[in-house]
Amino acid sequence: MTYRSHADLGGQDVRDAIVQEAEGDVFHAPWEPRVMALVVAMGPTGLSNIDMNRAARETLPNYRDLSYYEIWLAALEKLALQNGVLSESPPPPKRVLHAVDVMAAIKQGWPVSRPAASPARFSLGDRVRTVQREPPHHTRLPGYARGKVGVIEKIHGAHVFPDTNAHGMGETPQWLYTVAFDEKELWGETAPLQCSIVSVDAFEPYLEPA
């Protein structure tokens, strides 16, 4: 079965106008904060991790027709079904997040920095080319930045690798870089400003020497 992300919309025309919302306008209906609470509560149970959540969301066939929190809810239902949470004999949770612990858990977050297993392959200022292939799994490399040449702008250390973590294949930490691309490298001569630099955070397996 072919993996398809319906969320990789960068560089594509959209059918509707993009409406800018007011700063701090987080929720639009009473049920939306409840969905956010469900997602936060389900995290410690071991149902999924952040990359599994993203993979479940982006593969929803009606992704583009759903609102932000509708996507969250549909993905949560999808993961719950896949993991037997809604069955008559659901698996026991690894941890229950009680109400008194919620704010502390949110403030602490879920760090993804990890020790590096090997030295970084690239250095600041190196010219690199992103891989051209479309992977058959979740990835954090956007389609518009594949097969493009850029320059290593920053090195962030090793982090959990989403491409494996999203599919239960382990964290397999990888070096993470910020790669700077000339606007024309990404969009060609149709680039709107002809003078901008676009920075993309890219994991080492996405890159090769240019």
pLDDT digits (tens, 9 = 90+) for 149-178: 999 999 999 999 999 999 999 999 999 999
The architecture (CATH level 2) of 127-209 comes to Roll (2.30)
More reliable by pLDDT, 167 or 20? 167
Give mean pLDDT, residues 128-147: 95
The full set of domain ranges for the chain reads 32-108, 127-209
Confirm if 174 and 205 have CB atoms less than 8 A apart.
Answer: yes
**Token output for 47:** 């149902």
Residue 194's pLDDT band, with cuts at 50, 70 and 90, is low
Residue 79 CB neighbours (<10 A): 19
In whole angstroms, give the CA distance from residue 14 to residue 202.
25
Window from 76-85, 139-148, 183-192 with minimum mean pLDDT:
183-192
Residue 167 CA, chain-centre distance (Å), reads 13
140's CB contacts (< 8 A; 6+ apart) are 162, 163, 201, 202, 203
pTM: 0.91
Which residue matches tokens 């759903």?
Answer: 66
Give the orientation angle of helix 50-58 with respect to helix 68-82, to 10 degrees. 110
Confirm if 156 and 140 have CB atoms less than 8 A apart.
Answer: no
Window from 53-57, 73-77, 91-95, 137-141 with minimum mean pLDDT:
91-95
- Whether pLDDT at 24 is above 70: yes
- Whether pLDDT at 14 is above 90: no
- Whether pLDDT at 201 is above 70: yes
Edge-first strand order for the sheet with 197-203 is 197-203, 174-182, 149-159, 127-130, 207-209
* Of 160, 140, 158, 159, the residue nearest 200 (C-alpha): 140
